[in-house]
Amino acid sequence: MSNIVSYEEREKNFDWSISEKELGYKDGDIINIGWYCSDRICEMGKADKLALIWEGLGGVEKKYTFDDIRINSNKFGAFLRGLGIKNEDRICLFMDKIPELYIGFLGVLKIGAIAQPLFSAFGDESLHVRLDNAETTAIITQRKHVGKVRKLLEKSPYLKYVIIVDHDGKKPLKERELTFDMESYEEPKDFEIFPTKAESASVLHYTSGTTGQPKGVKHVHYSLISQYLTTKWVLDLQEDDIYWCTADPGWVTGTSYGIIGCWSLGITQCVLDTGFSATSWYEFIQKRKVTMWYSAPTAIRSLMKAGDEVVKQYDLSSLRHLASVGEPLNSEAVIWSEKVYGIAFQDNYWQTETGSIMIANYPGMKVKPGSMGRPFPGITAAVVDSKTFEPLSEPGKIGLIAFRPGWPAMMRTYWENEETYKSKFKNDWYLPGDRASIDKEGYFWFVGRDDDVINTGGHLVSPFEVESALLEHEAVAESAVVAKPDEVNMEVVKAFVTLKAGYKPDDMLELSIMNFIRKKLSPLAMPQEIEYVDSLPKTRSGKIMRRLLHAKEWGEEIGDTSTLEDDE
């Protein structure tokens, strides 16, 4: 039975207590996401229901019921507790999309520790910055990634334990390394879940900023209240669904909706842990009979590029609802998906800091291709003037997206960076840093970032982080990094570089620079192009004007250059 009730009806009588009642939560109660996503589902009589269908390379398959999830997350918790790990200790999960990542996440939360999921493609420098900022106590990883961790041990005094989940015994363990085998570890008797409350810290996700280091976004267990209800209403998950969220739990979509949302509803999800290809994705949907598919615009545009004919080779008739997030979903992709799948991908908008969906094309609501949709019931959203921060009343006028604080999943702070956190609020509005307009019917239309952060394939890349890596190369004197238009990813990273005396641009130098920074950055942050220049545009105070380089790449007006150092 569908969850769909008209948007107007939901909005009219909305209160977050709807979610609290359905979850059986009252103000002041213990609320632990790990328990809600496993033990509670078992207590509801769904212990034998499939929770996870996992498929790896070569079609290797593993299946877990909700009781398996409960038992194995308890094993993780007991193992960590046995090491002396306490509530609020930060535990990093640095793995591919293997079952241990999903189940271990719940195990960390069950002991009251803070889960710190990081994308497994991060280089050792990117990893170190985030572990160092969080003063992470332990990292759970795989053999294939342990080499990166070993490189940073000397400068990571807080990191006490490196836990390898797939050690085969062939190579000796090194300093601080331990092994944990989820399947063979003995089930703990009378495992006690830590009594976390609404404001107890749960997850620490890192996001990129314009300048400075990545920021640790701190969420709390009460975020479940938002994540549960938005999953139910926007993603329209139903009892017999087979759900596929393609996001990696290293990013917030992969935790809020790839773990918490679906499992708190007791829904079966499937995970494909292989690289992207149109044929493997379509084959997976056909084989698993996926009914609800939540993906990203980059993937959708890549599927478009693969063409219409390949779709006809597969039976995708199981699909009934499609949603997209991470960056703007262009209208062509919406129209195309309706043509080839018979269902349109429905865009929604939120970010790491908001913790849950904020604006969405609500099921049953008229879809306007290219629009983000309307605010989720209970969310007060506006487009405000960038100077006065007052709401713009004129339809179509561009301003900053703004939300009234107070929804359950809102971040509580940036880790050890309260000043930057406070700077995100103006006139009692939270400003996510994006520009948009609102039409006469209240639909939001995304325009772009209001800062220099690059959104490549739905992943935010800090220009500062890439520039810093480039400047460490012996040949690089100065660097500036901006977004460049791209057909599939919407935008990719482009670097402008000036060289030190004695160096000249050639293929060998470019290879040297690329190999150097590849060790420091994730593949997503790697420049797709390096342009060598004699000088970079700067203000008279010496600040590099990325804005001018960005305008050049996008064919935009350069605008005011009165502060340029060489301007007469």
Domain chopping of the chain, boundaries: 7-436, 454-554
76 has pLDDT over 70: yes
DSSP character for 179? Answer: E
- CATH number for the 7-436 domain, one of 3.40.50.12780, 3.60.110.10, 3.65.10.10, 3.40.50.10320? 3.40.50.12780
CATH 3.40.50.970 fits 454-554, yes or no: no
Q: Do 7-436 and 454-554 come out as alike in CATH topology?
A: no
Q: At residue 401, what is the residue type?
A: I
* Beta-bridge mates of residue 62: 54
Q: What is the CA radius of gyration of the chain?
A: 24
CB burial of 178-191 (b: ≥16 within 10 Å; e: otherwise) equals: eebebeebeebeeb
Query: What is the per-residue pLDDT for 2?
Result: 62
User: For residue range 122-168, what is the model confidence (pLDDT) as tens digits?
Assistant: 888 889 999 999 999 999 999 999 999 999 999 999 999 999 999 99
**What is the rounded distance in angstroms from the CA atom of residue 399 to the CA atom of residue 445?**
11
> Of the candidates 456, 252, 270, 435, which has an alpha carbon nearest to the alpha carbon of residue 357?
252
Which band of pLDDT confidence, cut at 50, 70 and 90, is reported for residue 560?
A: very low
CB half-sphere exposure, 7, CA atoms < 13 A: 18
User: For residue range 468-505, what is the model confidence (pLDDT) as tens digits?
Assistant: 789 889 999 888 899 999 988 889 999 999 998 889 99
**What is the rounded distance in angstroms from the CA atom of residue 126 to the CA atom of residue 214?**
9
- For the entire predicted model, the pTM comes to 0.85
Q: What is the distance in angstroms between the CA of the first residue and the CA of the last residue of the chain?
A: 69
